[in-house]
Structures are given as structure tokens and as C-alpha cells.
Structure 1
Amino acid sequence: MSGHVVLGRQPMAVSGCALPAGKRRRGAGAAGKRSPRPGGARGPGAGARRGPHGGAAAAAAAAAAAAGLGRGLRRRAGRRLGGGRAAGGGAVHRGAGRRLPHLLRLPAAVFQALCAKDKLLAAFGDHLVRLSTANTYSYRKVDVPFQEYVEHLLKPQDPATLGSDTLYFFGDNNFTEWGPLFQKYVPPPFHIPGTRGAYSFGIAGSGSGVPFHWHGPGYSEVIFGRKRWFLYPPDKTPHFHPNETTLAWLHHTYPTLLPGERPLECTIHPGEVLYFPDRWWHATLNLDTSVFISTFLG
């Protein structure tokens, strides 16, 4: 890595269909993350932050905002899934829009500059970060200095390694220490009235990611690199093993799926944001060494 955190990135040859559209961002947000629970459900996972959030009302409200900003995801066959007009007032209002994923284009040049490798190491190099296993339930947690993670552990995913044996930096952020960085981040300009967004910041190597899981609604933005998403609606449980990495699933299971069994897919690039609705199954795959941040609603 040199200059910024995508140094030495190793891109993967996976075709994508990013379909950005939308408006410029406004507003600000707060902090937090999610991690999975046994039985398929996931709750918030920033340290002790656990328990459900989102719900049907939150999902409908968040979808209303996202529907106005994105043209929607497409299936590999090209079917468009979204559209509409933006809800007004800077808040997410229930009633307009659909409960579907959407892509937004919200450039974040200032925050991106702060996420350069030298800036992050200067500010947080000696701070401990909490790594989680990259499997559906993220049971295991390990604390290491941020500089050690960046210089020694930030590597491409080994295809033979299980997700339960892969350590991944995403969320569980110490918001007292990372607060100065998060204060510079401008999230998507919609929120659920009476709530604050919860941030989850991460850096991971190419081929890494989290296998299928679900939780409440929110936004995911790529700062550096590319991240591929695979999504299924709540009533369509995907075929996967919770300890298998997304990379292994892509190689072993994905090719066997019939056209009607395949997920919705997209690849998001720097300055693009994906809105994920409440309780939608999703798996992620970093195509490069990537820096990313999610805003969980509710």
C-alpha cells in the first residue's frame, strides 16, 4: 500500500454491473455496525451493540428515500428493479418508494483523502482495532494494532481458508478514537426520523468479504477499491454454508445455480453507495483491497 490503502491491490476478474444514479449528498450521521446471530438473523455488532433494529416501518421509510436516488439494481439479464422520486425534507418518510436495493452516486473526495494510507496510519497506527471472523456469525474477535493489521494481515483471501478462520476489519470501531474521522464523513442525506445512523468502517483485502446474512436497512459506500454484492429478498433463502467464504461460494455454488435461483448483483466503486433494505439476504466480495463504510439506519 502506498499513498492510499489500495496499495498493492490485487484485482479479481469478476464481471459487474454497477448502475449508479442519484443526487449529491447532504447532512451528517453517527456511529455503529452489525454482526450475525445463529439461526440466520443478524443484529448490530459494534462491540456490545447487539439487538434488532430496522423493522418493517424502518425498511419502508428507508426504501422511500433510496427509491428516489437510484435507478435500481439489475439482474444479470438486465431487468430494472427500482426508480421513483425522492422523498423530501432530508428525512425518510414512509409510503413512497419500494423495498428494493438501489445504487446511488455520492462522491466523497474529502473523506477519501482522509482515508489515504499515510493519513490513517498517522492517526490510528498504534490504536487497537477489533477483527472479526469473516463468516456469517462472526463469533471470534481479535484485537490488534491497526498498523499491524495494515502491514501484515491485510492480504488477499486464501481460497482454501474458511471464513471462520479469516480475520476481517469491519465495524466494532472504537467511536471515541475514530470519531474525528467519522465526523468528516457525509452520509446519504436521508434518515429515519428520531434516529441516528450507525457507522461501520472497514478495510479488507481482495477476495475477502462476508457470506450471506441479513439485518436492518442501511447504506454501504466504497471509499477505495470495488465491492461486489449478491442479494436475495427476505423470502428467498440462498444456498450457502455459514463458514464458507463468499469467494468459495462464488467458485463452488454460484455456477450451479439455475437462472431463477441467482441473486441480484452489482459492483460498487468509489463514490457509489448501495442501499440495502431491511432483512434482505446479502453477501459481499471485495474485488480489490478496499476501504468502505456502512451507515445502518434505525
Structure 2
Amino acid sequence: MDRTVVSVLFCFVSYVFQLASTEKNVYNFNGGWETDESKMLARPGICNIDVVDVSKQTFSQKHFEDYYAYVKPVIIKGSTDNTKFRKLCEKTALLERYGDKIVRLSSANTHSYSKRDVELKKYVNEIMKPQTLDTLGNETYYWFGDNDYVEFADLFDQYKAPPYKLPNMHGVYSFGLAAAGTGVPFHFHGPGFGEVIFGRKRWFLYPPEKQPSFNPNKTTLHWLMEEYDNLHQLDKPLECTINEGEIIYFPDRWWHGTLNIDTSVFISTFLG
């Protein structure tokens, strides 16, 4: 084979390996939050929800209202650039700026949430652990919602909310941070958007008229491991795993349960 051809092929193969390595390192960085796959009991699943990539196709406010706002969930990619907000959510930055702030943890069960107030650094360093099947939802505490909007005002001020709206409704932010395997079992409330800042979050959804069968004091991880594979095909949920920078929209009163695949930083915009 001609030496020039061999040289070109060698350079191309080297570039591909370098690119793959770079992408792996970017993922493994995950904002400095843990991504130890040996501690992950859950993995991403199928995606049977509509996905719209705003960077590649038109997705207007009218289209959102006509096809999704009151009808069904949708995954939205490329709608906002939250690079600056994401930088503030890296582990080092978040702990340096807010480590001494008090955050309110909630138990990860469907009803009668218990609360616990701790310093953020204590939560991250001592309490936030990967979920196991030995721990029930009402025994698992993690940070989602109940945010102090005064103490964390400069963080929320940097967040760019999804550009889509519902008439006569305004958004309230719910920020969270949780370890791999954690999540909230099935529940419902008003409509909203959920965005992943770091990590991956798997969502399971059912329409209002189709209440799923689940134990409200067990975790989503329990449900996935013990119930999911036994579901009849007609009883399977809509589901999708959303990645960094992706957003899910869910309509009013849709049942949904969440499961963090990795240590995840996330923010929801609840509409009301």
C-alpha cells in the first residue's frame, strides 16, 4: 500500500480514537459529580416520547400549544443555552459558593414528605449516596424543590427557562441534586418542564386517566427492578432518558416517576 495512503489512514484512525476519548472524558467529567458505573443499578431505557430538536427543525409556540401543551409530553433539545448556569452547577463551583447554605431535603416517597434541613456541603459529602434496594423511599432524603430563592437568587438568575409558555401561567423553579439510582415515585401535579444540567434522568409517564400501580413508599428503583418487566405491554409507560441540556415537558396531572441514572443536577419549571 502507498505510504501516503497509509499515513492518511493512520492519522484518521488516531483522530477518531482521540475524538472518542475526548467525548468520554467530557461525559466522565459530569461537572465533577460522580459517574461511577459500578454503583449504577439502573440504565437508560427506550424513548417512546416525541423528540423535537429545535436546532434542526421549527418548533413554534403555536406548535407547542396545538400538539403538546394539553395533550402529551415531549422532549425538547437545543431550545436554550444554559452554559453559564451549568458552569455554576459544577461541583467545585456549587460548593464554593453555596456549601455553607442550608438546603431542605425531602423524602423520596409519594405522600407525606418528611423534611430535613442540612448544610449543602454536609448533604453532598455525607448524605447523598447512590440508591440501593435496601432503602425505601421514605428513608431516602435528597434535594429537590423547597429552594431558598433569596440565598440562591444569583444562581437562579442565570438560568434560562424554556421559551415555551402556557397562557395565563407563570413558572416557579425547583432545583435539585441527587445521587445515582434516586428518584421520586409516581405522583402528579400541574404542568411543567424538567431540564437536566448534569447527568441523566429517566422519566416514566402515564396520562391522568391511567393511574400506575406502585407502592408509594418504595423508590422508583424498586419499581423498575421489581415491577417494570412484569407489566403487560398495554400497561407500559411512556418513557425517555433525558441527557444534559435536554428538557422534558409534561402536561397537567400526568403521572410521572423519575430515576437518576448518574449523580444528577436538574431544574424544573412548574407552571401555575
Instruction: Please state which band the TM-score falls in when normalised by the shorter chain.
Output: 0.7 to 0.9
Q: 1:142-174: per-residue Cα shift (whole Å, max 9, x none)?
A: 000000001111110021111011001000000
Contiguous gaps of at least 5 residues in structure 2: 1-27
Q: Which one of 20, 28, 34 corresponds to residue 7 of structure 1? A: 34
TM-score, scaled relative to structure 1: 0.74
Distance 1:15 1:122 in 2: 31
Distance 2:196 2:159 in 1: 12
Aligned to 1:211: 185
Pairing 1:244-283 to 2, within 5 Å after superposition: 244-283=218-257
Change (3 A) 1:254 1:2: closer
Q: Is 2:189 the partner of 1:189?
A: no
Q: Which one of 76, 96, 112 corresponds to residue 104 of structure 1? A: 76
Question: What percentage of residue pairs aligned between the two structures are identical?
Answer: 49
Aligned to 2:201: 227
Would you say the 8 A contact 1:211–1:245 is kept in 2?
yes
Q: 1:220-267: per-residue Cα shift (whole Å, max 9, x none)?
A: 000000000110000001010100100001111111111011101100
TM-score, scaled relative to structure 2: 0.81
Would you say the 8 A contact 1:237–1:281 is kept in 2?
yes
**Aligned amino acid, residue 122 of structure 1:** E
Q: 1:192-231: per-residue Cα shift (whole Å, max 9, x none)?
A: 3444210000000000000000000000000000000110
Aligned to 1:139: 113
Would you say the 8 A contact 2:34–2:262 is kept in 1?
no
Aligned to 1:290: 264
What SS is found at the alignment partner of 2:86?
helix
Would you say the 8 A contact 2:201–2:260 is kept in 1?
yes
Pairing 1:10-25 to 2, within 5 Å after superposition: 10=37, 11-18=40-47, 20-23=51-54
Structure with more helix by fraction: 2
| C-alpha displacement of 1:100 | 0.4
Distance 1:159 1:210 in 2: 14
Larger Rg: 2
Q: Which stretch of the first structure deviates more once superposed, 153-162 or 210-219? A: 153-162
Q: CA RMSD in A?
A: 2.2
Q: Work out the number of aligned pairs and report it.
A: 236
